[in-house]
Structure 1
Amino acid sequence: MEKKLFFFDIDGTLTDRRTGQVVPSAKRTLELLEENGHFVSIATGRAHYKCRSLLTELGLENMVCSGGMGVVIKNELVKNTPLDRDEALAVIHQAEEKGIGVLVALDDSEKVYAKNDLFREQVGPRQEPTEYFIDPTFNIDEAEAIFKFYLAVPKEQDHLIPEPVNFSKLRFVPEYTMCQHDNKKQGIFDVLAYFDRPREDVVVFGDDVNDLVMFDKSWTSIAMGNAVDVLKAQADYVTDRNVDDGIYHACRKFGWI
């Protein structure tokens, strides 16, 4: 059997969006793939620290994370690249000049820093676990690295901050936007380079528009039956819905398990 390198999106692919729980047949399929000697990894935009518990739950040792700029192989974080510092500082200062609240993540953790509490005054707290450090003496220009930052820009004011060149503005809630890496394909390239494997050995599974970046014609791309139409249109194969054992059925069809 030809050994492949598998990369799975999380929400809507491995997990049921209604419950947030891993689909049982998906977890069993990952186990069968590893038993057959394939490389198995999750591929997510989430920060490294947010995914460690899921990696343990799945029984896996590999992941592409942090929007493609983080790579874990055999439970070792081999890469976690911060944002382009100069561009990040330029965007942050632009936001500050427009009176927009900013929170900055300086490392791989739930800690965020700011010189004032303007962000929470404008849009409220972040909608995820967060440890706030508000210090009037905080100077972002002294930061050695910036991993991501949050802007108190409601959806209707998104035009106030132009799209960055070297990273992305992402919006998961209407109240604020997040600036971070969004290139899961780069993480896949890094794994291929690590193992010196060709692109045609890759198989990716996804369901949403943020997975478009890792659907590449040089490898096999599989969309879940519950995927958005634009992703299905780019897929080499569309399997059943994830809650209808779509991952298991696809892997059986192609003879990977």
Structure 2
Amino acid sequence: MKRKYFFFDIDGTLTSSKVFNLVPESTKRALCALEAQGHFVAIATGRAHFRAKEFAQEHGIQNMVCEGGNGLYFGGKLIAYEPLADDLAIAIMKKAEALGFPLAVSLTDDRIRLTKDERFVKQCPGAQGFVELQVEPHLDLDALHHIRRFMIAMRPDEEAKLPEIKQIGMMRYDDSFVIVEPDDKYKGILRMVKEAGGDPQDIVVFGDGLNDRKMFEQAPFSIAMGNAIPQLKMLANYVSDDSDHDGIWNACVHFNWIEPK
């Protein structure tokens, strides 16, 4: 059997769509079976490296595209990382400030987000358990370098005021803020397959959410979970069952990548 290069989103794909970070037993068996057949198995996630690394190590996964395509974790080590373009990120943040939207910016590979005052803290209580907010009154946007991602305190109906964020990418987990971060996982997938000495035509991607859209548009073969958003299902070559009902296992059996047991 020709070697395939499988890339799996984490949330809602490898994990349950109902229970955070819970990986179904059938999914674990599928990943082990794929590797036993000689296939390449990797994660493709928008998560920051430190968050994704914890998940990968817990589940024994050695390869990962993280940071929305800007980070490569190969053989259990981070081998490449590309921060945001400073000029673009700073220009967007300065415009957000001019519009009155508080900010919180990430410069390090951890939960810390820097913000100028208490406004972001007060306007985005939902961010408190997700990140560690540190108030830095003298934070100078023009002096920032190696920006990893940033958060803007604005509602969904205010996003049209900052169309520039689409030049980077965005995710929203709460109505009070948006996270501006890379979302081209497929860029990292191509780099990973090259690193592994593979053929891009043998790439298979699995996903369920909005930040999987670009890799579904570009990958030669894509599989949407049953719990995926409608836009992704329309782009997919195949739609499997949802993540809580053996979606990955069933898809791999369907295409004879693993044997049913």
TM-score, structure 1 as length reference: 0.93
Shift of 1:222: 1.2
Number of equivalences: 257
Are residue 102 (structure 1) and residue 83 (structure 2) matched?
A: no
Q: How does 1:1-257 map to 2 (within 5 A)?
A: 1-20=1-20, 21-124=22-125, 126-164=127-165, 166-216=167-217, 219-257=220-258
Q: Structure 1 stretch 104-113 or stretch 220-229: which is displaced more?
A: 220-229
In structure 1, how many angstroms separate the alpha carbons of the residues matched to 2:86 and 2:252?
41
Q: Is the 8 A contact 2:44 2:66 kept in 1?
A: yes
Separation (CA, whole Å) in 1 of partners of 2:68 and 2:121: 25
What does the per-residue CA deviation read over 1:123-165, in whole Å, with 9 as the maximum and x for residues that have no partner? 3351533222212222222222111111111222222222336
Distance of aligned partners of 1:234 and 1:129 in 2 relative to their CA distance in 1, 3 Å threshold: closer
2:94 is paired with a residue whose SS is helix
**Structure 2: 5+ residue stretches without partners:** none
2:193 and 2:26 map into 1 onto residues whose CA distance is 27
Cα gap change, 1:166 to 1:121, in 2 (>3 Å): same
The structure in which a higher percent of residues are helix is 2
Q: Specify whether residues 191 and 73 from structure 1 end up closer, same or farther in structure 2 by C-alpha distance, changes over 3 A only.
A: same
> Against the structure 1 CA distance between its residues 238 and 113, is the aligned structure 2 distance closer, same or farther, given a 3 Å change threshold?
same
> Residues 33 and 136 of structure 1: is their aligned pair in 2 closer, same or farther, counting only changes over 3 Å?
same
Residue type of the alignment partner of 1:171: R
Q: How far, CA to CA, are the matches of 2:169 and 2:217 in structure 1? A: 20
Aligned partners of 1:84 and 1:166 also within 8 Å: no
> Structure 2: which amino acid aligns with 1:32?
A
Secondary structure of the structure 2 residue equivalent to 1:163: helix
Q: Percent of aligned pairs with the same residue?
A: 39
Deviation at 1:217, TM superposition (A): 5.8
Q: CA deviation at 1:204?
A: 0.8
- Which segment is superposed worse, 8-17 or 220-229? 220-229
Residue 247 of structure 1 and its aligned partner are, at CA, apart by 1.1
Q: Which moved more, 1:158-167 or 1:173-182?
A: 158-167
CA contact (8 A) 1:163 1:169 kept: no
What displacement does 1:89 show? 0.7
Name which of structure 1's ranges 245-254 and 208-217 shifts more when overlaid on structure 2: 208-217
Task: Tell me by how many angstroms 1:17 deviates.
Answer: 1.4
Deviations 1:64-121 (A, max 9, x none): 1111111100111112211110011111111122222111101211111122222113
In 2, distance between residues paired with 1:156 and 1:43? 29
Equivalents in 2 of 1:44, 1:218: separation in Å? 15
For 1:152, give the aligned amino acid. Answer: A
What TM-score do the two structures reach when normalised by structure 2? 0.91
Cα distance change on mapping 1:226 and 1:130 into 2, 3 Å: closer
* SS of residue paired to 1:103: strand
Say if 1:44 and 1:68, in contact at 8 Å, map to a contact too: yes
Task: Give secondary structure in 2 for the equivalent of 1:13.
Answer: helix
Cα RMSD of the aligned pairs, angstroms, is 1.8
Give the residue type in structure 1 aligned to 2:89.
A
